Structure 1
Amino acid sequence: MTVPGQLPSPYASEGSSANLADILERVLDKGVVIAGDIRINLLDIELLTIKLRLVVASVDRAKEMGIDWWESDPSLSSGARHRELAAENAELQRRIAELEERTA
């Protein structure tokens, strides 16, 4: 049933209604992928290509799909930050030991 002045809701059917939380739960549970390419050519010469990929999913669902880049990004993960600092520390200690051997 439509009310004058309102558009019919594509997510609600007669007798039931879906609120935003229900819709969001469904989207995060299943996941949504949006992909698109933009190409700019001039006289058959490709000047610019932009590839857009958007995945909307819960963290658990993303991990099931093999997407876990946030775990290795130092700006998003404290564990990755500690690993990066540990690797940098080991490299600096190696360089100091090398310099001490040269001066000895």
Structure 2
Amino acid sequence: MTDELATRSGASLADVLERVLDKGIVIVGDISVNVVDVELLTLRVRLFVASAQTAQEMGMDWWTDDPFFSPGRRELAPERPPQP
């Protein structure tokens, strides 16, 4: 019985993950810390989860020009002047 349940939950988790990566999901949240009506800290969180292919289709392909994510493009990246 437990093996069947684990198999079903694993399959449903895989289905959910496949749908999220295929369509994408956006998670938005704001956290604010106030003391006596004085705002001390505000954190704004914007998280987009999708496959690389889905992100590229939506126009989000920042990693293609980033030398850290594209090792073959490191030669094309402009050299930074030495810091004083």
TM-score computed with the length of structure 2 as normaliser: 0.66
State the Cα distance separating 1:79 from its structure 2 match.
4.4
State the Cα distance separating 1:32 from its structure 2 match.
0.9
Structure with the greater alpha carbon radius of gyration? 1
Equivalenced residues, count: 77
Extract structure 1 runs of 4+ deviating beyond 6 A. none
What secondary structure, in the 3-state scheme, does the structure 2 residue paired with 1:26 have? helix
Gaps of 5+ in 1: 4-11, 93-104
- Structure holding more strand per residue: 2
Higher relative contact order (CA 8 A, sep 6+): 2
Q: Which residue of 1 aligns with 2:43?
A: 50
Using the aligned pairs only, state the percent identity: 55
Distance 2:50 2:73 in 1: 22
Q: Which residue of 2 aligns with 1:36?
A: 29
1:61 and 2:54 are equivalent in the alignment: yes
